[in-house]
Amino acid sequence: MPRHLISKLEQFTRLSVSDKQALETAAGEKRRRIGPREDIIREGDDPAFVNLILDGWACRYKQLEDGRRQIISFFLPGDLCDTHIYVLREMDHSIGALTPVTYAEISRETLARVTAEHPRITQALWWDTLVAAAIQREWTVNLGQRTAAERLGHLLCEIFIRLRGVGLTEGHSCVLPVTQADLGDAMGLSNVHINRTLQELRGSGLIVLKGRQLTIPSLAALQAASLFNPNYLHLDRVGRHLDANDQAGDGTD
Amino acid sequence: MPRHLISKLEQFTRLSVSDKQALETAAGEKRRRIGPREDIIREGDDPAFVNLILDGWACRYKQLEDGRRQIISFFLPGDLCDTHIYVLREMDHSIGALTPVTYAEISRETLARVTAEHPRITQALWWDTLVAAAIQREWTVNLGQRTAAERLGHLLCEIFIRLRGVGLTEGHSCVLPVTQADLGDAMGLSNVHINRTLQELRGSGLIVLKGRQLTIPSLAALQAASLFNPNYLHLDRVGRHLDANDQAGDGTD
DNA sequence: CGACGTTTTGAAGCTGATCAATCTTTGTGG
DNA sequence: CCACAAAGATTGATCAGCTTCAAAACGTCG
């Protein structure tokens, strides 16, 4: 069932049948389901598990004393929250659902066992962690330098490509199941301005957005308009040399 | 000589004499010195080493096609660039010096050896990595939600506390060796507005800034004004239980 | 149908950007 | 030790992008 995670990791390296089974087992241990606006974990809590999003969208966020909320990152299906979080004593931010979410709680011990026995998974999780850090850096650039239209366009490019990596796009389309207010909290813009900026992107034909269905007629055009350079997602199959080949037939499915 | 790194890590766990010697040796292998505005590594380069800043200030940054520059994070003495960066094939950002900088290049092999032989160092580096990620997240909040004055005040709190952790403060003062334009590139503000915001902070008595000498008369007051919550720096000695105690006298110096 | 959440629109106001000039500091060479 | 150059800090004036507030339209679901 953690097929999205597997798809994602296979962008980096090919996994053997046994690798996939190990992930399967780990993700099956403890499964939970929550509704939108519910929290998976809160600032101040002791992080006991690594959470794996199986379905739905969640986010990291932080709320200032006066109510301002910043969404720090989006969690899409297949995303894993910090694999070493248990080194720290308490959460410095919260993780909450934006849509109905199904996720797996993976214990520290399980994760340790899986990585000890499956070096390719270890490598792939490293890659995933580094890409997550790169995305966070890119958001810094996004918030610091880009205009509203560039910023939003950039986000949509990123989301589309990430969803494609986990098999959740269809042609030029994908879902965008969050409210405009959520997008605003993520981009540091008011919901009103998000609305106007979306209209601007629609007006210039860069996106088609009907309800929760997003279509990007030309990803290249949206990328160009948003100064989007996909290099930070590191989709260049760096880990080719780690492709599983220890058993005939492995990794071909 | 990597005394700043050692100071920093000892905020998390106590290190034995042998731990410190290992860091000493690793940091001594290859030392380099560069001037301000020179790069340590550039976007597109193949990351061969982990860089340890021994002296001076550097930064991660990214430059957009049209020249806009965002400083993504500051590297202070004792800071280590991503310890697992070699998993990726090429840098998605650059690292450059803001002042004259001395740094050590640590090879992948050396780092692997040190961590294999020194579990406390491994743990401490994990803590360091997670704190670095938390800082990046906090910058996202900073850029997305805080006003110019809050943003700048927040940054100054963070820098002061980080410098204090590596023994580079004196009483309520520390150096601030970067230009206002650099601060602007880091905070997503124009240099003009940085200037005016600094004057505002000076005017309200929250900071004293003469040349490159920064004094924060009341850190608590600046924190309050900037909505600064230090929890994300995880300075609560989480790793107490890992304190080195395998040899009498260890860790007490 | 009615209610609630979400999107859309309009108008007014503020924060911070831009541009351009001046002042100050630092560093360098004579 | 002074003169000069270059970098950085400061100031003023104008402008643009985005926020805020408020209301209306739209959708969706019990």
The model's pLDDT over A132-172, given as tens digits with 9 standing for 90+, comes to 999 999 999 999 999 999 999 999 999 999 999 999 999 99
The model's pLDDT over A169-208, given as tens digits with 9 standing for 90+, comes to 999 999 999 999 999 999 999 999 999 999 999 999 999 9
Reading the block at residue A246, the tokens are: 């220890």
Distances (CA, A) of A146 to A13, A27, A139, A149, B246: 33, 38, 10, 8, 52
| A68 chain-B contacts, CB cut-off 8 A | 145
**Chain D bases under 7 Å from protein CB?**
7-13, 17-22, 27-28
Domain A1-143 fold is Jelly Rolls (2.60.120)
Q: Do A130 and B92 touch (CB under 8 A)?
A: no
Q: Considering the domain A147-226 in this protein, what is its CATH number?
A: 1.10.10.10
The model's pLDDT over A112-129, given as tens digits with 9 standing for 90+, comes to 999 999 999 999 999 999
| Residue A224 forms contact with B (CB below 8 Å) | no
Average pLDDT over residues B68-73: 98
Q: Do B234 and A92 touch (CB under 8 A)?
A: yes
User: Residue A4 and residue A12: Cα distance in Å, rounded?
Assistant: 13
CB-based contacts of B100, cutoff 8 Å, min separation 6: B33, B34, B35, B36, B55, B56
**Max Cα distance, chain A (Å):** 59
Is residue B105 a contact partner of residue B30, using CB atoms and an 8 Å limit? yes
Q: Do A227 and B66 touch (CB under 8 A)?
A: yes
Instruction: Spell out the domain ranges in chain A.
Output: 1-143, 147-226
Q: Do B133 and A136 touch (CB under 8 A)?
A: yes
Residue of B69, B143, B238 with shortest CB distance to A88: B238
3-state secondary structure of A161: helix
Q: Is the pLDDT of residue B142 over 90?
A: yes
| Residue A241 forms contact with B (CB below 8 Å) | no
Separation in Å, CA of A58 to nearest CA in chain B: 16
Domain B3-242 fold is Jelly Rolls (2.60.120)
**B196 strand D contact, CB < 7 Å:** yes
The footprint of strand C (CB < 7 Å) covers A 179-181, 191-192, 195-196, 198-199; B 147-149, 188-190, 192-193, 211
Separation in Å, CA of B165 to nearest CA in chain A: 17
User: Residue B66 and residue B192: Cα distance in Å, rounded?
Assistant: 20
**Chain C bases under 7 Å from protein CB?**
5-11, 15-20, 25-26
The model's pLDDT over A84-113, given as tens digits with 9 standing for 90+, comes to 999 999 999 999 999 999 999 999 999 999
Q: Do A84 and B123 touch (CB under 8 A)?
A: no
Is residue B4 a contact partner of residue B168, using CB atoms and an 8 Å limit? yes
Confidence of residue A251 (pLDDT cuts 50, 70, 90): very low
